[in-house]
Amino acid sequence: MCEKIHVGIIGLGAYLPDRVLTNKDLEKMVDTTDEWITTRTGIKERRIARADEATSDMATEAAKRALNDAGLKAEAIDLIIVATITPDMLFPATACLVQDKIGARTVPAFDISVACSGFIYGLAIANQFIGSGTYRHALVIAAEKLSAITDWNDRSTCVLFGDGAAAAVLGPVEKGGILSAYLGANGKQGELIKLPAGGSRIPATKKSVDDRLHFIKMNGVELFKHAVKVMAEAALEATRPLGLKAEDISLVIPHQANLRILNAVAKKMGLSKDKIYLNIDKYGNMSAASSAVALVEAVKEGRIKKGDKILLDAFGGGLTWGAIVIEW
Ligand code: ACO
């Protein structure tokens, strides 16, 4: 009988643009205050990519750093997945652009569009391919240039988002690795956050631009309620099959949408707040890249030790959600 292949993260890398946009800077752009943003969201500043810097550029830099961390060359990669809602263009896929830029072989490369749940969806897909023995090494990259689809005149959304990228190299490990993954979606709630134009429903026209339909539209209050519910449920669904309780999880790496959402999730899960990794103050909501960058930084800061069981947990536009348990 074939032995089970344990699939783990064997390399990590992140890329954050240099430019920092603070809440004070935003005070000069829209009718808002540092105090409102901080108390309502936990965000103090976010990174903004250069005008000539696209999602594939950030994704490529993160991928190179992850490959370096894994001690692998690009030729060793058998599969490339990019999670993004801000691809360089509708097609070709950003993953194909990254494949070329890092000098990978002509391996399968595709994007997934599940907003903030993208990194977790990507890890779950790669886990299936490696776990089944189809591929040996996969690159899962989460990269977003949300500043390109943010309405900088809309104070209810522009204070929330930022740009960044992170990548993980997945491969076989001796033990542990990804222990369980739980994914979900509910298309009925798709209206709560969306980019209305630029696709086949509303192609770009002068009117669509004048109506500002190429920017994120969001119902924040409704999303807030769903976020708390589905993140807590996803955590439960991912841990229950393993017989794990909240206290068995060393650290939760959540999607960083709002500090108040994360405090509410911690309460619902019966977890102390210090078990929830936070970096929302520095980067805001980077959609798919948020949980990925958080994982990279948590490892770098020594918050995750060998043998720890960690939980990644996210929700996003779609709506989509997902949670994954990894033994480090
Ligand atoms: N500065 C000052 N005042 C503001 C701002 C701002 N930037 N934005 C909104 N306000 C005002 C509103 O106009 C409103 O004023 P009013 O009472 O006079 O009408 C008041 O503040 C309260 O607005 P609410 O929307 O009720 O504020 P709330 O406390 O719900 O916070 C927020 C808003 C931060 C957006 C919150 O609802 C939230 O975080 N929701 C979840 C959003 C989310 O997770 N989005 C990401 C989805 S994931 C993805 O796929 C990208």
Q: Average pLDDT of the chain? A: 96
- 193 within ligand 1 shell (Cβ under 6 A): yes
**pLDDT exceeds cutoff 70 at 132:** yes
152 and 293 belong to one structural domain: no
- Look at residue 107 in the predicted model and tell me its pLDDT: 98
pLDDT in tens, 175-218: 999 999 999 999 999 999 999 999 999 999 999 999 999 999 99
> 234 falls in which pLDDT band (50, 70, 90)?
very high
pLDDT of residue 55: 98
| Span from the CA of 162 to the centroid of ligand 1 (angstroms) | 16
The pLDDT assigned to 268 comes to 87
Confidence bin at 273 (pLDDT 50/70/90)? confident
In a domain? residue 60 = yes
**Taking each helix axis from N to C terminus, what angle separates 288-300 and 118-131, rounded to the nearest 10 degrees?**
70
Regarding the beta carbon of 118 and ligand 1, being less than 6 Å apart is answered no
Active site residue: 6, 23, 96, 116, which one? 116
Residue 121 in this model has a pLDDT that exceeds 70: yes
Q: Is the CB of 116 under 6 A from ligand 1?
A: yes
Q: How many CB atoms lie within 10 A of CB 86?
A: 25
> pLDDT grade, residue 3 (50/70/90)?
confident
**Nearest Cα to Cα of residue 97 among 89, 25, 151, 206:** 89
Within-domain flag for 241? yes
Does 1 reside within a domain? no
- In this predicted structure, the answer to whether residue 1 has a pLDDT above a threshold of 70 is no
121 lies in the same domain as 248: no
Residue ending a domain, among 140, 158, 175, is: 175
pLDDT at 270: 87
How far does the centroid of ligand 1 lie from the alpha carbon of residue 79, in Å? 39
Q: Kindly tell me if the per-residue pLDDT of 2 is higher than 80.
A: no
Q: How far is the CA of 220 from the centre of ligand 1 (A)?
A: 5
Segment 58-65 shows an average pLDDT of 98
What percent of the chain has pLDDT above 70? 99
Decide whether any atom of ligand 1 lies within 6 Å of the 223 Cβ: yes
116 included as an active-site residue: yes
Domain count, the chain: 2
In the residue annotation, 255 being an active-site residue is answered as: yes
Task: Determine the pLDDT at residue 247.
Answer: 87
Q: Which domain holds residue 21?
A: 6-175
The verdict on 95 and 185 lying in the same domain is no
